[in-house]
Structures are given as C-alpha cells and as structure tokens.
Amino acid sequence: MSVERVHRMSYAVDAAAPAGALYTLVADVTQWPLFLPDTVHVERLDFDAAGDRYARWADADGELRRSLVRRSLDAGGRRVVFREERPDEPVAASGGSWTVEELAPGWSRLTLEQELVLGGPAAAAERAVASAEEGARAALAGLRGAAERWRRLDELLMSFEESVRIEGPAEPVYEFLYGVESWPGRVAHVLEAEVAEDRPGVQRTRLLNLADDGSVHPTEAVRVCFPAAGRIVFRQTRPHPLLAAHAGEWSVEPDPSGVTVFCRHDVLLDERAAERVLGPGAEPAAARRYVREVLGRESRAALEPATRYTGDPVRALRSV
C-alpha cells in the first residue's frame, strides 16, 4: 500500500544583475530552452498580464517529459506562482513559486520554492524528488548566468527564419525532414547521422557536419515531432562550436498549390568562442553574421533534397 507524502524544497541564488532583469527571464518562458539545460521546448497556450499557461518539454534522467503549467504573474512584487496540471506518477501534485528580491543596486536574489505531493512506491518517489531537485538547481544556475549577462544579452541572442517554397505535397517534405538518418549523401554538409527514438515522435540525433574550411564538428539534438501539424521542434544539446545554445522549429505549411517550409532558429552566442572560431579580435557582430550565414545555408541545404520526393513533376525550390 502506497503512502502519500509531501516534499518541500527551497533553493536560492544571488546574481550580479538588477532584479527587473532577473524577473523578466523568469517570466518569459519562451526563452527557457536557451537558458535552462533540460528544457527542449516551451509553448505558451494562454497568456495575459495576470498569468499564463504553457506546455514544457524537459529532458530529465534521459527521458523527455511534457508538463502543463499554469502561472500567476506579479510583476510589481516580482513573484511568479505556478501549479503543474496533471503531473506524472508518482507525483500527485506539484506547485510553488519564483521570487526575485533586490539585494542592492545591481544585485538580486532568485528563490525557487516547490512542493511535491508524492504517492506510489518509495523508490519511485525518491527518484522523482532527486530529479526535481536537480532540475531546480540547474534552472537557478541557468537563469543566473543569463541575468549576469544582461548588458550584453541583446547582442548575444538571435532569432531568425529561413523559408522556401516547394511546389508539391506536404507529406513527402515532412517525411524527409523527419528522416534525418537519410541525410548523409543528400544534405551537403551532413557526413554522418545517427537517430534514436525514445518513443514515436521523440528523436535524439547526432550529426557530423562539414564546415566551409574542411573541418568537421558534431552536433546533437533532441527533436519533438508533431506529424499532424507538420512541425518538428528541436533543441541542440551539443550545438555549433560558436553557440552556447540553439533551439528552433521546422514547419511545413500547405496551401492549394504547394507548401512553404519554415525553419526558425533561436540561438545564444558563446562570446568566449568567437575569437577561437573566427580569429583574434572577433566582435559579437562578426559572430552574429557568421552564425546567420552558416545556419541559413545549412537550413536551405536540408530542404533542397526534399524537392526530389514531393511527387510533383515541377520539383521547384525557391526562396520566399
């Protein structure tokens, strides 16, 4: 017979950053994949000034887990209260709060308090507690690191999109994007590809990529696939050498005469890697241009072979 029990935890970190900057990072969950190492994707489902509701896919203990969370946001008090809807066993209920305090000008404290109501076998409950505690510490460290770069964060963050027009049906295009293991020999910069599926629609990929200078570098990613919606969201767990974090989405949008395929990239530059990759004296602006060019070219290269599998006799690809 299982006994329900309650586990409470509280963690705090001090950051060399204004309280407002730290609170903004807590409140804007859409950027968490760039700051929280376990977060693969976040989708806001509802949002207003008083609160929001979002779905979050997080990688914990080698397993991708989806959670639904509802939050109330108090910008004036710099406090966020959250509650998870329908948590997975052995967690029967989960909720807590984020609080940001100003300690001194340019210094603030972020506190995460959480309560778990646990059932089921003791061993499963202990694993759930350990996972939650590890996730809490990692989240605090990630948000602190981002906040302490608040003066430079705007030039380190980039979001951009590539789009192409394919005159053909959507299904073969999506199938090609899904089938990463077929990319070597078809996508110019991909030399090797390994794909493992934890379960249908959740992929872990490892690509060996060829750079312009002839060097090779591996990238690894977790991808969550939504075939009915024509979407694949991803977060690279081992990004390009110039990036600290990289997330994004492929989407295939059909219309009566064909499809438009979008690839969105959200990246956080690794400022320490700029000189190592681009040479002495490289500025963030040069790194931004380089990343935009390389990722844009690689996105287009991944789409070119898809035109051969559309079943459309025109098989045309053009930028839009």
How much is the average pLDDT of 34-55?
95
- State the DSSP string of the chain: ----EEEEEEEEEEESS-HHHHHHHHH-GGGHHHH-TTEEEEEEEEEETTEEEEEEEEEETTEEEEEEEEEEEETTTTEEEEEEESPPTTEEEEEEEEEEEEEETTEEEEEEEEEEEE-S-HHHHHHHHHHHHHHHHHHHHHHHHHHTTTTTHHHHEEEEEEEEEESS-HHHHHHHHH-GGG-TTTSTTEEEEEEEEEETTEEEEEEEEE-TTS-EEEEEEEEEEEGGGTEEEEEEEE--TTEEEEEEEEEEEEETTEEEEEEEEEEEE-GGGHHHHH-TT--HHHHHHHHHHHHHHHHHHHHGGGGGGS--SS--EEE-
Residue 273, pLDDT score: 87
> Which class is 155-319 in CATH?
alpha beta
pLDDT in tens, 129-154: 999 999 999 999 999 999 999 999 99
Q: How much is the pLDDT for 310?
A: 58
Q: Cβ distance 315 to 160 under 8 Å?
A: no
Q: What is the pLDDT of residue 304?
A: 82
* pLDDT band at 3; cut points 50, 70, 90: low
Name the average pLDDT for the chain.
Answer: 91
Residue 209 CB contacts under 8 Å (≥ 6 apart), including other chains:
189, 190, 191, 216, 217, 218, 219, 298
Judged against a pLDDT cut of 60, whether residue 316 lies above it is answered with no
pLDDT surpassing 60 at residue 320: no
CA neighbor of 243 nearest in space, from 184, 192, 284: 284
Q: Domain segments of the chain: what residues?
A: 5-147, 155-319
Same fold, 5-147 and 155-319: yes
Q: How does pLDDT run across 50-105, given as a tens digit for each residue?
A: 999 999 999 987 889 999 999 999 999 999 999 999 999 999 999 999 999 999 99
| The pLDDT of residue 314 is above 50 | no
The residue ranking higher by pLDDT, 280 or 20, is 20
At residue 289, the pLDDT reads 93
Tell me how far apart the terminal alpha carbons of the chain are, to the nearest angstrom: 61
At residue 1, does pLDDT exceed 60? Answer: no
Residues 251-305 pLDDT 10s = 999 999 899 999 999 999 998 888 888 888 888 889 999 999 999 999 989 988 8
pLDDT beyond 80 at 313: no
Q: Give me 306's structure tokens.
A: 């898809």
Q: Which residues contact 144 (CB under 8 A, 6 or more apart)?
A: 13, 14, 15, 17, 22, 110
Tens of pLDDT, residue by residue over 210-264, are 988 889 999 999 999 999 999 999 999 999 989 999 999 999 999 998 999 999 9
Confidence band for 4, pLDDT divided at 50, 70 and 90: confident
| 33 has pLDDT over 80 | yes
**Class in CATH terms, 5-147:** alpha beta
pLDDT of residue 16: 98
* pLDDT attached to residue 317: 34
Any residues with CB less than 8 A from the CB of 119 and at least 6 apart, and which?
Answer: 2, 3, 4, 5, 89, 90, 92, 125
